[in-house]
Chains A and B, each alone.
Chain A
Amino acid sequence: MSVILILVAASLAMATAFLGGFIWAVRRGQYEDVGTPSVRMLADEDFSGGKTLSTEKRKL
């Protein structure tokens, strides 16, 4: 039954990795605003042919 110990270790390691990812996301401020992205995606496609952030990378 010692194989279970390996499985347990593997599952815990994976879960901890996900927890780490979650903590990283929260620290980066991804949960600061959970409302605006749902609206922002409605306007993601740009039909006007204008410049967008992706076509014109700018740095300050």
Chain B
Amino acid sequence: MDQNDAGSAPGEFAAGSAVVPLPPPALASAEAAANCFHCGEPCVSVEHSDGEKSFCCRGCLTVYELLSENGLGRFYDLNRTPGTRAEPQPDRFAYLDDPVIQPKVLDFTDGKTCRVTFHIPAIHCVACVWLLERLFQLHAGIGLSRVHLARRELAVTFAADKITLGELAGLLASIGYEPSLTLAGLEKRPRQPTARRWLQVGVAGFAFGNIMLFSVPRYFGLSNATGPGLQAVFGYLSLALALPVLVFSASDFWKTAWLAARRRAVTLDIPIAIGLAALYAQSAFDIFTGRGEGYLDSMTGLIFFLLCGRAFQQLVHERLAFDRDYKSFFPLAAVRISGTREEPVAISELKVGDRLLIRNNELIPADSVLIDGMAWVDYSFVTGESEPKLKQAGAYLYAGGRQKGAAIDVRILKPVSQSYLTALWSQQAFGKTTEDGFDSLTNRYSRRFTRAVLAISLAAGLFWVLTGDTVRGLKAFTSVLIVACPCALALAAPFALGTAQRWLARRNVFLKNALVIERLAVADAIVFDKTGTLTSPRAGVRFEGFPLTPVEQGWVFSLARQSTHPLAVQVVECLQNGRVHQAVGSFVEQPGFGVEGIVAGQQVLLGSRKWLQAKGVSQCSEVESSAVHVAFDGKFRGTFLFETALLEDVGPMLKQLGNRYDVALLSGDNPRARRILLSFFNDETRLNFNQTPQDKLDFVRRLQASGKGVVMVGDGLNDAGALKQSDVGVAVVEKIGGFSPASDVVIESRSVGRLPAILQLARQSTRIVRLSFGISAAYNLVGVCIAAAGVLSPVICAVLMPVSSVSVVLFACGATTFAARRAGLFQPEVAP
């Protein structure tokens, strides 16, 4: 991947060409400051404070002032430290006002009034909802703003002549709610037909209630009292009420049953559809011939329960996007340099040969060559390499890298669609679709079930016809179909698996659908991607040498703060605990090597071994891992070592999983962490480093070829192929709602330790589904015996169906909740 690496071995200290502007000198008070009132981050200094409240940075203080001036101070009453750290860059969203881009982003505009829906990952609590729905207090051009918490979306109406779209996005970003604007957001997704589902449930419930009312005389044997005339009226009314239920509410069952029949697959929808048809036909026959009132109460009730089961499963879903590709990672626009002008241009309009300006933290949208500037490219998301790479002018930069440091100037070499990252998506694995659900537990069971029911109904009908009772034979035939209508069976899986999904969602584990649970339950191999999923890069900053005194730590801290190099940033994070920044004199930075400066009259050197030696410091110890060496007044003092450490819980988790599963590890990173990981794996061949995305994909394929169900746990785009190929792809994210590659399960990184519990729950809930099948089969057996005898009455049907359904639902929910408790999913996480 990296043929032009300009020699920044991990062991060396280097710094970007950018020197961050010096913060104002610290105030005299050196007291340790508290946590930020706005975002909760520890405060580095006391320079940003508002009398009694302290803030970690200028940005947070500004947001606080803005909010309190506009009467929005209650934001801070609703939740403690509700804010997100904001990094204001006012013109960053100017590209949104581009006439090509803007119409793609807006939902609606009539030239004056515009409406836009932003996805804002930072939305998370009641205070966010409160603040974002009062945006009109911050700007006169903003009208109604509405938050959708589960989708993390904000819909805003604004007046185009008072505030532009770019300014609106900038305003949101400046208060810490930066909209996530990606290519994927441009493709308007078809709206989920939620309204139609609600209407279906409503209509079914309405008809069910009223038909039951008409059936009451019959339930209590009062038919004689009401008389035949009234009975006929009730019958025809019921028939009329049931018709919209049959046609509209049950339309999805007809559709799926028809689809399955055409594909010659037997799904549960087929016996349901047959049962519904038999119910309505028998009822219509009974009513028209005056034999009775039919089974319409049972039929509408059945559809109502089935729809409720579906709704239950759908409500569980926080609408997370599970099918993302590179488009969710790419920005909408880049800055093109034409002549001396800089102009925003949509990614889709980029051409080979265009010159682009890539600023700090911006993404390189296409494979290109570096023309000017010092590039620190972070490929962690593409390749899994944990440290940014230093690139010199002339270097080849791959799309998907993120620039860290000062702005760079690049020229595009390949179109966006043919670049490295996008090419990953043309892999075969991404063409595969396994979501038809024909192989679910329920459908496997229903294949046998349907055949048995058809055989019994035919046999019963034939038996009575042969004995000479043709009417009874027909009745027996339809009765068996009616009573065997697998209502309880159809409810077992949605309620058991839906309950399991709900318990998992409470612990920040989100499943794409219920099928995932079934596939998790039969998995027997688990493959981890190391970067980010098992290790935490920050956990292991350690100082080796004669310990630094607090005063000396202050010097190192102040000097390291001047650099944007990732290792320097880690040193700052490690030392910042309440420390005050001190002025640095005669600051020198040699990018790629180190920094030098005078703090409180003391000369301080930080950097690589070469850098210190060039400055005349001897006795530098040599180390394997990434390191920053420290010297005071030309004397070597010690070394900061950066070691990747295992996340908490990971050790015990790997041991636990190793007993039952074939556990393997694939990493795109170098084998630095091999030593700490080796003790947890039985087999050394299961530890693989320097893996390319293709290697990972092949590894998963090999495991699958040997007959294993593979669970792949990963976090980067480099894992995307393997995640998609595996039977269950688990994406680990820092924060739910942030970006994650296409996967079946999304899990927060602090919940990774719960993996054994999740797998245990998956196994047990599929067992519960099987048990529920058993219960419903027992009810069906009783019903079929009655029906085959040809003596089924509507009352027996009206009792048997709800009783079987309710008992199965109660069992499924109860047993799954019990299983979730046993798996330890009731205990909340330890706060991070």
Picked from B71, B195, B210, the residue with its CB within 8 Å of the CB of A50 is: B71
Is the CB of B791 closer than 8 A to any CB of chain A? no
Whether A42 contacts B199 by the Cβ 8 Å rule is no
Is the CB of A60 closer than 8 A to any CB of chain B? yes
Is the CB of B74 closer than 8 A to any CB of chain A? yes
Whether B126 contacts A49 by the Cβ 8 Å rule is no
Considering only CB atoms, which chain A residue lies closest to B76 in the complex? A48
Question: Which residues of B have CB within 8 Å of A52?
Answer: 134
Whether A31 contacts B195 by the Cβ 8 Å rule is yes
Whether B202 contacts A50 by the Cβ 8 Å rule is no
Is the CB of B814 closer than 8 A to any CB of chain A? no
Whether B237 contacts A8 by the Cβ 8 Å rule is yes
Question: Which residues of A have CB within 8 Å of B157?
Answer: 60
Question: Which residues of A have CB within 8 Å of B129?
Answer: 36, 39-40, 43
Which residues of chain B from 134 to 161 have a CB within 8 Å of any chain A CB? 134, 136-137, 143, 147-150, 157-159
Question: Which residues of B have CB within 8 Å of A1?
Answer: 226-227, 230
Give the distance to chain B from A18, nearest Cβ to Cβ, in Å.
8
Give the distance to chain A from B75, nearest Cβ to Cβ, in Å.
9
Question: Which residues of A have CB within 8 Å of B133?
Answer: 40
Give the distance to chain B from A14, nearest Cβ to Cβ, in Å.
10
Whether A60 contacts B113 by the Cβ 8 Å rule is yes
Whether B210 contacts A31 by the Cβ 8 Å rule is no
Question: Which residues of B have CB within 8 Å of A31?
Answer: 194-195, 198
Whether A39 contacts B126 by the Cβ 8 Å rule is yes
Question: Which residues of A have CB within 8 Å of B195?
Answer: 26-27, 29, 31-32
Question: Which residues of B have CB within 8 Å of A50?
Answer: 70-74, 134, 137
The docked-state distance in angstroms from the alpha carbon of A27 to that of B137 is: 30
Whether A4 contacts B226 by the Cβ 8 Å rule is yes
Give the distance to chain A from B365, nearest Cβ to Cβ, in Å.
34
Is the CB of B127 closer than 8 A to any CB of chain A? yes
Which residues of chain B from 224 to 238 have a CB within 8 Å of any chain A CB? 226-227, 230, 233-234, 237
Considering only CB atoms, which chain A residue lies closest to B148 in the complex? A33
Question: Which residues of B have CB within 8 Å of A60?
Answer: 112-113, 143, 157-159
Is the CB of B394 closer than 8 A to any CB of chain A? no
For chain B, give the interface size range.
Answer: 35 or more
A31-B195, A39-B129 as given contacts; A11 in contact with B137, CB under 8 Å = no
Picked from B78, B230, B315, the residue with its CB within 8 Å of the CB of A43 is: B78
Whether B202 contacts A22 by the Cβ 8 Å rule is yes
The docked-state distance in angstroms from the alpha carbon of A27 to that of B196 is: 9
Is the CB of B600 closer than 8 A to any CB of chain A? no
The docked-state distance in angstroms from the alpha carbon of A21 to that of B321 is: 33
A5-B233, A12-B237 as given contacts; A43 in contact with B148, CB under 8 Å = no
Whether B202 contacts A43 by the Cβ 8 Å rule is no
Give the distance to chain B from A43, nearest Cβ to Cβ, in Å.
4
A12-B237, A42-B126 as given contacts; A48 in contact with B74, CB under 8 Å = yes
Whether A46 contacts B226 by the Cβ 8 Å rule is no
Is the CB of B548 closer than 8 A to any CB of chain A? no
Whether A33 contacts B206 by the Cβ 8 Å rule is no
Whether B210 contacts A23 by the Cβ 8 Å rule is no
Q: Mark B66-110, 1 if CB is under 8 A from A, else 0.
A: 000011111001100000000000000000000000000000000
Give the distance to chain B from A27, nearest Cβ to Cβ, in Å.
7
Considering only CB atoms, which chain A residue lies closest to B151 in the complex? A33
The docked-state distance in angstroms from the alpha carbon of A11 to that of B72 is: 50
Question: Which residues of B have CB within 8 Å of A10?
Answer: none
Is the CB of B203 closer than 8 A to any CB of chain A? yes
Picked from A8, A18, A36, A58, the residue with its CB within 8 Å of the CB of B136 is: A58
Picked from A4, A43, A48, A49, the residue with its CB within 8 Å of the CB of B127 is: A43
Which residues of chain B from 557 to 598 have a CB within 8 Å of any chain A CB? none
Considering only CB atoms, which chain A residue lies closest to B241 in the complex? A12
Whether B149 contacts A51 by the Cβ 8 Å rule is no
Question: Which residues of A have CB within 8 Å of B149?
Answer: 33, 35-36, 39
The docked-state distance in angstroms from the alpha carbon of A3 to that of B198 is: 35
Is the CB of B7 closer than 8 A to any CB of chain A? no
Whether A48 contacts B210 by the Cβ 8 Å rule is no
Question: Which residues of A have CB within 8 Å of B352?
Answer: none
Is the CB of B652 closer than 8 A to any CB of chain A? no
The docked-state distance in angstroms from the alpha carbon of A23 to that of B143 is: 28
Give the distance to chain B from A53, nearest Cβ to Cβ, in Å.
8
Whether A48 contacts B73 by the Cβ 8 Å rule is yes
A5-B233, A31-B195, A43-B127 as given contacts; A23 in contact with B202, CB under 8 Å = yes
Whether A23 contacts B150 by the Cβ 8 Å rule is no
Question: Which residues of B have CB within 8 Å of A36?
Answer: 129, 147-150
The docked-state distance in angstroms from the alpha carbon of A12 to that of B241 is: 10
Is the CB of B209 closer than 8 A to any CB of chain A? yes
Considering only CB atoms, which chain A residue lies closest to B149 in the complex? A36
Whether A33 contacts B143 by the Cβ 8 Å rule is no
Question: Which residues of A have CB within 8 Å of B159?
Answer: 60
Whether A49 contacts B71 by the Cβ 8 Å rule is yes
The docked-state distance in angstroms from the alpha carbon of A23 to that of B205 is: 13
Question: Which residues of A have CB within 8 Å of B136?
Answer: 53, 58
The docked-state distance in angstroms from the alpha carbon of A53 to that of B534 is: 48
Give the distance to chain A from B152, nearest Cβ to Cβ, in Å.
11
Give the distance to chain B from A35, nearest Cβ to Cβ, in Å.
5
Is the CB of B312 closer than 8 A to any CB of chain A? no
Is the CB of B213 closer than 8 A to any CB of chain A? yes
Whether B148 contacts A19 by the Cβ 8 Å rule is no
Q: Mark B155-175, 1 if CB is under 8 A from A, else 0.
A: 001110000000000000000
Most buried by B among A50, A52, A58: A50
The docked-state distance in angstroms from the alpha carbon of A4 to that of B225 is: 12
The docked-state distance in angstroms from the alpha carbon of A43 to that of B199 is: 30
The docked-state distance in angstroms from the alpha carbon of A46 to that of B213 is: 47
Question: Which residues of A have CB within 8 Å of B137?
Answer: 50-51
Closest A-B pairs by Cβ, 7 of them: A50-B71, A43-B130, A36-B149, A48-B74, A60-B143, A35-B150, A31-B198
**B interface, CB within 8 angstroms of A:** 70-74, 77-78, 112-113, 125-127, 129-130, 133-134, 136-137, 143, 147-150, 157-159, 194-195, 198-199, 202-203, 206, 209-210, 213-214, 226-227, 230, 233-234, 237, 315
What would 18 A/B residue contacts be, using CB atoms closer than 8 Å?
A: A1-B226, A5-B230, A5-B233, A8-B237, A11-B210, A15-B209, A15-B210, A19-B202, A19-B206, A26-B195, A26-B202, A35-B149, A36-B147, A43-B129, A50-B70, A50-B134, A52-B134, A58-B136
